[in-house]
Structure 1
Amino acid sequence: MTQMNPYENPTAESLKVEKRYNAARERFFKENRDARDELESLNTVECEHLGCSVEEALEQLRSEVFARAAKTHGLEIDEFVIRLTAESPEQARAWRLERHRHVADTLGIDWDTYKTLNAIIE
């Protein structure tokens, strides 16, 4: 399944999602020394050789490390973010439903049909 990009076409909704992603990444790197060490191992000379700034390369590496951690936990990035940032099971459920509604809208599928197809119970 293709990952949705929460940064495309910024709306109030996508800005909330972006804040959750940023909070999740911040928490993840704060709590994971090995992940921070990997960021610190960035080769600045290699960045210059590739023609990108250190900041660009660091951002790309952060994304890769975070995505790899989600995969290691057997989760899609969206679910990894929810688990890192939701303050309650109810909030996590609401965010999952929100994500599903967005997918249904993006695909142009009626919400009731989408729920049936994906065995979602509200």
Structure 2
Amino acid sequence: MSESDDKERREDLPEDDAEWRERLSDEEYRVLREAGTERPFSGDHVDRKDDGTYACAGCGAELFDAKTKYDSGCGWPSFYDADDDRIETRRDTSKGMDRTEVLCANCEGHLGHVFEDGPEPTGKRFCINSVALDFDDEE
């Protein structure tokens, strides 16, 4: 993706909550804008094994390469690596837990959480809601 594509994405973002509600489905809105979580093993991408790229369902920014996806058994799509320029992380102490939240760097949509129990080479498990992702196959 080129810098001009990224710039267009940033400029095309909804300006307020009402515009986000128009752009997203109810479930996408609940997860991406309200930091919700889909039920485990319910998402379209949990068992996907195709080559391609996962993008933010809110803004279209490319986030994860399918080559970094693995079956963690947690019930959500899991990736062992992410481009630090495409995601942001912050501490999340909601629900009585201390976790690291993962957000889209472009639109600040909630994607899921990252944990330190993933495989090599990173040791990370990016546990991401399927509804927060769109998939583009390599073909």
More strand by share: 2
Larger Rg: 1
Question: What TM bracket, shorter-length normalisation?
Answer: under 0.3
TM-score of the two chains, using structure 1 as the length reference: 0.25
Return the TM-score normalized by structure 2: 0.23
Higher relative contact order (CA 8 A, sep 6+): 2
